[in-house]
């Protein structure tokens, strides 16, 4: 009889090879204790965290911790129900109002994760007669949303508004509703979307535009509203989706929009309806973190300075870092045989980054993906750079000390 697990044989082989090449499973790292936003204990060692997406360091916000404690005492630790049944407390509505106000939008929906926000909005918006147009490098949650939707799904070339335009024209379906989905900052590479150009294509073709600001919320734009604010095209973005799990340091997702039908989407959105809502302490911590983010725009400036410092350091070392400076900086290596030992060596020397292996990377080369925080000190960044240099040397990764223009 067939085994359910025969399809796992390939994966078992790949994982075995990864572990054999480096000595540990890179997908089973345990942070034994976070000591601060930037340092955690891993394998008993104090380790610099450069791969946690905690851009503003707010996972350790004292204000958010206190708000969570107070909410748990006042309201308990869970809602035991979905948003459309018993899972909406005043706190949930208050947070939705706060998020909507922050984005200057009519309304907001809060989901239990950012993953579910994409899954829910994309599947609820794009129906059987509609077209979904996705950037080729979209996050898994966007692809999964497209699979849950009944729409016809077309990919366009990454960050290429002309290619999007060509593919919309090729559909030759001027009357069909079309939803274009892009991300503000791409999670693997740190690439920033040319949102203004996408907005122009959307207007010319009469499509709708959804921007996932997961990594750009709190990071880009004068007020931290993301890539659409940074490019001055918020009015042309129909839906902004995002997450609390990165710049706000908690967990949860949201969608904001001016379309009044958002109220109806709540009743036609499976990942919103058929899962328990966020517990009171998470909602309260998120609201507190949002206030803290709004009151401290200097965190954003510090984040960008830190990103520039790390990026310049990589360029100086001769590592192949992303072209654009953003808080996600991916160092591309040529082969998996280089990447696995180097990632392990970095961890042994005291720096945690994310190891991304093909096919989860865009161009079939492996990435050492780093994310920068506002709370990193200059000394921590310089120490991480020295450890990268040492690890590259120890693993015979060639450093082509070329001064590429950033």
Partner 1 sequence: MSETVEGVSALIIQKLLSNPKVPRDINGDCKIMEDLAFDSLAVMNFVMEVEDSLDVSVPLDKLADIRTINDLAACIVDLKSKG
Residue of 89, 113, 146, 306 that binds partner 1 (CB under 8 A): 146
Q: Which is nearer to partner 1, 167 or 296 (CB)?
A: 167
Applying CB under 8 A, does 260 fall inside the site for partner 1? Answer: no
Q: Which is nearer to partner 1, 167 or 223 (CB)?
A: 167
C-alpha distance from residue 227 to each of 52, 130, 192, 252 (Å): 21, 26, 8, 20
Q: Which is nearer to ligand PLP, 217 or 314 (CB)?
A: 217
Min dist CB 154 to partner 1, Å, is: 6
- Give the Cα separation of 199 and 204 in Å (integer): 9
Q: Which is nearer to partner 1, 170 or 402 (CB)?
A: 170
- Give the Cα separation of 399 and 406 in Å (integer): 17
244 Cβ contact list (under 8 Å, min separation 6): 114, 250, 251, 252, 253, 254, 282, 286, 289
C-alpha distance from residue 333 to each of 169, 187, 324, 341, 343 (Å): 37, 17, 17, 12, 11
Q: What is the CA radius of gyration of the chain?
A: 22
Q: Greatest CA separation found in the chain? A: 62
Find the part of the chain contacting partner 1 (CB under 8 A) among 65-73, 107-115, 167-175, 288-296. 167-175
Applying CB under 6 A, does 225 fall inside the site for ligand PLP? Answer: no
Backbone angles phi, psi at 326, to 5 degrees: -150, 170
The angle that helices 161-171 and 195-205 make with each other, rounded to 10 degrees, is 20
Applying CB under 6 A, does 214 fall inside the site for ligand PLP? Answer: yes
Tokens linked to 368: 């050492």
Min dist CB 134 to partner 1, Å, is: 8
Residue of 96, 137, 212, 234 that binds ligand PLP (CB under 6 A): 212
Whole-angstrom distance between the N-terminal and C-terminal Cα of the chain?
57
Site for partner 1 in 20-79 (CB under 8 A): none
Applying CB under 6 A, does 187 fall inside the site for ligand PLP? Answer: yes
Min dist CB 188 to partner 1, Å, is: 12
Applying CB under 8 A, does 344 fall inside the site for partner 1? Answer: no
DSSP bridge pairs for 356? 367
Q: Among ligand PLP, partner 1, none, what binds residue 212 when CB lies within 5 to 8 Å by partner kind?
A: ligand PLP
Residue of 75, 153, 304, 312 that binds partner 1 (CB under 8 A): 153
Applying CB under 8 A, does 205 fall inside the site for partner 1? Answer: no
CB atoms within 10 A of CB 88: 17
Applying CB under 8 A, does 171 fall inside the site for partner 1? Answer: yes
Applying CB under 8 A, does 324 fall inside the site for partner 1? Answer: no
Sign of the dihedral defined by the CA atoms of residues 137, 167, 196, 223, in that order: negative
Residue of 98, 167, 266, 296 that binds partner 1 (CB under 8 A): 167
> Smallest Cα–Cα separation from 133: which of 190, 191, 206, 225?
206
- Give the Cα separation of 368 and 354 in Å (integer): 6
C-alpha distance from residue 24 to each of 30, 341, 347 (Å): 12, 10, 10
Residue of 170, 222, 396, 403 that binds partner 1 (CB under 8 A): 170
Q: Among ligand PLP, partner 1, none, what binds residue 153 when CB lies within 5 to 8 Å by partner kind?
A: partner 1
360: left (phi over 0), alpha (psi -120 to 50) or beta: alpha
Min dist CB 273 to ligand PLP, Å, is: 17
Residue of 24, 92, 98, 155 that binds partner 1 (CB under 8 A): 155
Q: Among partner 1, ligand PLP, none, what binds residue 79 when CB lies within 5 to 8 Å by partner kind?
A: none
Q: Which residues bind partner 1 (CB under 8 A)?
A: 136, 146-147, 152-155, 157, 167, 170-172, 358-359, 364
Q: Which residues bind ligand PLP (CB under 6 A)?
A: 113-115, 118, 139, 141, 183, 187, 212, 214-215, 243, 245, 253
């Amino acid at each position: 009889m067939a085994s359910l697990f025969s399809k796992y044989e390939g994966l078992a082989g790949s994982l075995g090879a990864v572990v054999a090449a480096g000595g540990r499973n890179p997908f089973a790292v345990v942070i034994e204790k976070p000591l601060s936003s930037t340092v955690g204990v891993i394998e008993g060692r104090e380790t610099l965290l450069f791969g946690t997406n905690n851009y503003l360091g707010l996972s350790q916000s004292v204000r958010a911790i206190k708000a969570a404690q107070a909410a748990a005492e006042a309201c308990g630790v869970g809602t035991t129900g979905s948003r459309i049944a018993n899972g909406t407390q005043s706190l949930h509505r208050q947070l939705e109002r706060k998020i909507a106000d922050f984005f200057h939008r009519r309304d907001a929906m809060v989901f239990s994760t950012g993953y579910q926000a994409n899954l829910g909005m994309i599947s609820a918006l794009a129906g059987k007669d509609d077209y979904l147009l996705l950037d080729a490098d979209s996050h898994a949650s966007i692809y999964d949303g497209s699979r849950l939707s009944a729409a016809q799904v077309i990919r366009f070339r990454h960050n290429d508004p002309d290619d999007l335009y060509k593919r919309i024209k090729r559909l030759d379906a001027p009357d069909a509703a079309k939803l274009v989905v892009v991300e503000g900052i791409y999670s693997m590479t740190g690439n920033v979307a040319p949102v203004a150009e996408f907005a122009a294509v959307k207007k010319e073709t009469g499509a709708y535009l959804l921007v996932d600001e997961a990594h750009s919320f709190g990071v880009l734009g004068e007020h931290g509203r993301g890539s659409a604010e940074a490019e001055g095209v918020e009015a042309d973005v129909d839906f902004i989706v995002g997450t609390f799990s990165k710049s706000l340091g908690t967990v949860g997702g949201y969608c904001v929009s001016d379309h009044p039908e958002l109220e109806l989407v709540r009743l036609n959105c499976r990942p919103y309806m058929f899962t328990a809502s966020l517990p009171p302490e998470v909602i309260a911590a998120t609201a507190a973190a949002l206030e803290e983010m709004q009151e401290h725009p200097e965190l954003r400036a510090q984040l960008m300075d830190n990103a520039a410092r790390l990026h310049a350091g990589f360029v100086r070392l001769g590592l192949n870092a992303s072209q654009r400076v953003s808080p996600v900086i991916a160092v591309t290596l040529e082969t998996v045989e280089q990447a696995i030992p180097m990632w392990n060596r970095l961890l042994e020397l005291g720096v945690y980054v994310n190891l991304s292996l093909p096919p989860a990377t865009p161009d079939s080369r492996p990435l050492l993906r780093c994310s920068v925080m506002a709370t990193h000190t200059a000394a921590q960044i310089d120490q991480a750079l020295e450890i990268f240099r040492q690890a590259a040397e120890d693993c015979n990764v060639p450093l082509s000390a070329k001064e590429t223009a950033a």
